Amino acid sequence: MSGNRPEATGNPLAHAVKLARETVPPMHPAGRPFVFGGLAATLVLRRFSKRLGVVGALATAATAAFFREPKRVPPAQSGLAVASADGLVSLIEEAVPPPELGLPAEPRMRVSVFLSVFDVHVQRIPASGVIERVAYRPGKFLSADLDKASEDNERNSVLMRTEDGHELVVVQIAGLVARRILCEIREGDKVGVGATYGIIRFGSRVDLYLPPGSKVLVSKGQRTIGGETPIAELPSAPHSEG
């Protein structure tokens, strides 16, 4: 008889917590010190004024939202380079990759995505493969939507080789108010498409350099979703790269 009984609904509170976890994106670990500091400041401010306490709470909530790291599902189709960041496609043009990577000084198609302070700021791997080089270069903090930001601003460049043998270059670029680039991958790491590899604080840009023969699938002014939006279709066979 017990086999015909309906399944127990469980604890309503536990169910509500589960729904909240599925709805509210998790936070990148880099944001924890800022959020905990905001909470502490909010408690102090509330001692002096409830209004200041509300302001502190709102600021803390906004900080937590900035560091959100939502789950993403990459496309099932192979042979794609997906967006490394959420944001707006600001430039599609040919450009020479950062010289610190040691690549030939030959132009490649570059797709630039500008991130406003309201976008998700974690960066994601554009394709599965192996990290070959990681190079950081200090620089200026010009507005990230300017053309010369790719050359002049502080940046962290990553060269990876996909499972099909293609070279992809992803560059994290600091913006006007960004003062910290975090990269969590190292040379030799095996990485999966869509995996989070870093974050930029607070407003920035991400450049993706494609191998010759790639077919760009986005347009200038289009919004991208990191880890999901196909940026380009890679050539069927690797060209001579480097």
Which residue among 84, 90, 157, 204 is the active-site one? 204
204 is an active site residue = yes
Evaluate the omega torsion of the peptide bond into residue 202 and state whether it is cis, within 30 degrees of 0: yes
Q: How far apart are CA 84 and CA 60, in angstroms?
A: 26
Q: Which residues pair with residue 108 across a beta bridge?
A: 95
Contacts of 118 (CB under 8 A, 6+ apart): none
* SS3 of residue 81 by DSSP: strand
Q: Say which DSSP state 226 is in.
A: T
3-state secondary structure 6-57: CCCCCCHHHHHHHHHHHHCCCECHHHHHHHHHHHHHHHHHHHHCHHHHHHHH
Distances in whole angstroms, Cα of residue 94 to Cα of each of 104, 106, 151, 216: 14, 9, 14, 12
Contact 101, 173 (CB under 8 A): no
Residues tagged active-site: 204
